[in-house]
Structures are given as C-alpha cells and as structure tokens.
Structure 1
Amino acid sequence: MESKYTEIWDKELNQIYKKLLSKLDREPKEALIESQKEWLQYHLRETEFVEKTFINNSYLGTQGLVSLDTVIKERIRERTMQLFEYRYLLDGEVEFLYQSIK
C-alpha cells in the first residue's frame, strides 16, 4: 500500500516541479534545478544508507521494508509540499494531479 502512495506523491512532485520551472525566470530556474538535483541526491543517498545499514542485515526485522517505504513516501511528500508552497507564493495556485474517488 505504501508504494502506491509513494508513486502518487512522486507523480505530484514531478508535476509541481515542472510547473514551478515554467513560472521562473532564468536565474531562479537554474537555482531550483540545482536545488532539486541536490534534494534527489540526498533522497537517494539516505535511502541507500538505510537499506545497507538496517534493511540488508535484517536489523529492523520483517517490518524494516515497510518502515523504509513509509520514510521514502514521507520524504517525497514533504518535498512536494515544499514545492507547492513555492508555487503558491508565486501565483496563488495549487493544483493536485490526484483526485480521490468517493
């Protein structure tokens, strides 16, 4: 289940990143691109550290992978919301791709 939500947040992240880039002038755009690259490197390295340290040696037992999936989802969600806040500051708009079905 966590992987489904991680996928949804990842799509939202990519969408808001592209929209935000389209709203920025050259210098802020370049700064955001560098910032996103740095964030992605952090995200991947942090995940790799946790996998090598706690998951691969079964330190966290059978719940380890579930915990890691939750942490990954939350990290992506936090970055997505941060980018949404930037977009809102620029033009007061917030649009989510995902629409829940009731």
Structure 2
Amino acid sequence: MSKNVMKNTIILILVFLSISVFSQSKNQQENFIDAAESKCLDKKDISNAEIRNCTIKATQSWDNELNKYYNLLKSKLPKETFEALKESQKQWMIYRDKEYLLISKFYFELKQGTMWYTIAENKKKEIVKSRALELQMYFENLEY
C-alpha cells in the first residue's frame, strides 16, 4: 500500500470516528431520557430505593427508544440489510441477558447493601442506552 493511500485511509477513519463520537456525545447531552432521570434524582434526601426506581424508569425509556429505532430501521432498510440488523439484535439480546445475569449475581448476591442494587440497575441501563444510541446513529446515518 502506498503512503498516500495509507494516509488517506487513516484520515477517513479519524474523520468517521470524530463524527461518531461527536454525534453520541451530542445525543447524550440533549437526550430527554437523561434529563428526566436527572430531574427524578434531583430530590432532597432521596433514598437508595428512589434512586433505583429513577434508574429503572430510565432503562425502560431507553428500551422504548431502542425499539423505536429498531422499527424505524425495519421500515427503511433494504430486506437483506434489515436481516443483518435482525440477527445482530438477536445476538445483542443474548449478550444483554447474559450480562444482566452477571450483574445480578455480582451486585445482588456477592455484594451487600442497597447501594449495590442501584449500581446494578445503572449498569443495566447503560447497556440498553448504548444499544439504543447505536440504533439511533444507524437511523440518522440513513439521512446522510
């Protein structure tokens, strides 16, 4: 491979990565789910149980977003591309379920104290949020 081809390839990769990172950080900063969770957590003298419930609600909202973008992609993608997404989603759900099992065993059985339940729920939320943002990115990239 010539130096110019390699240089151009590296530049393209860096541009793509910077756009992707900027897009994700923008979505995370402006997202209504994060704002609603922050508002829920912004109570005076909030208990661990209330914190956990705020996080569970946010996880449910992220799951709704994930499903929204999955269905939007289903309606827009060519059949073969959607089949690849469908298989990817099946594999992601297997990963999610196994990770949830690990999180539950680690934080609910191994650790002691209600603080760990809140940490566990937050870890579960981040898994779903990450996938929802990935699907959102795919959908938004259809417009470019």
Fold agreement, TM-score > 0.5? yes
Shift of 1:71: 0.8
In the alignment of these two chains, the number of paired residues is 91
Match in the other structure for 2:134: 82
Deviations 1:8-67 (A, max 9, x none): 11111111101011111111110000000111110110110121233123x253211101
Q: Higher helix fraction: Structure 1 or Structure 2?
A: 2
Q: Any idea what SS the aligned residue of 1:53 has?
A: helix
**2-structure distance, mates of 1:78, 1:54:** 21
Query: Which runs of no fewer than 5 residues in structure 2 stay unpaired?
Result: 1-53
Indicate the RMSD between aligned Cα atoms, in angstroms: 1.3
Match in the other structure for 2:106: 53
Asked which structure has the greater RCO (Cα within 8 Å, sep 6+), the reply is 1
Q: Which amino acid aligns with 1:65?
A: Y
Query: Which runs of no fewer than 5 residues in structure 1 stay unpaired?
Result: 93-102
1:34 has 2:77 as partner: no
**1-structure distance, mates of 2:72, 2:137:** 12
Larger Rg: 2
Contact kept? 2:70, 2:135, Cα under 8 Å: yes
Identity of aligned residues (%): 35
The runs of at least 4 aligned residues of structure 1 exceeding 2 Å deviation read none
**1-structure distance, mates of 2:121, 2:106:** 15
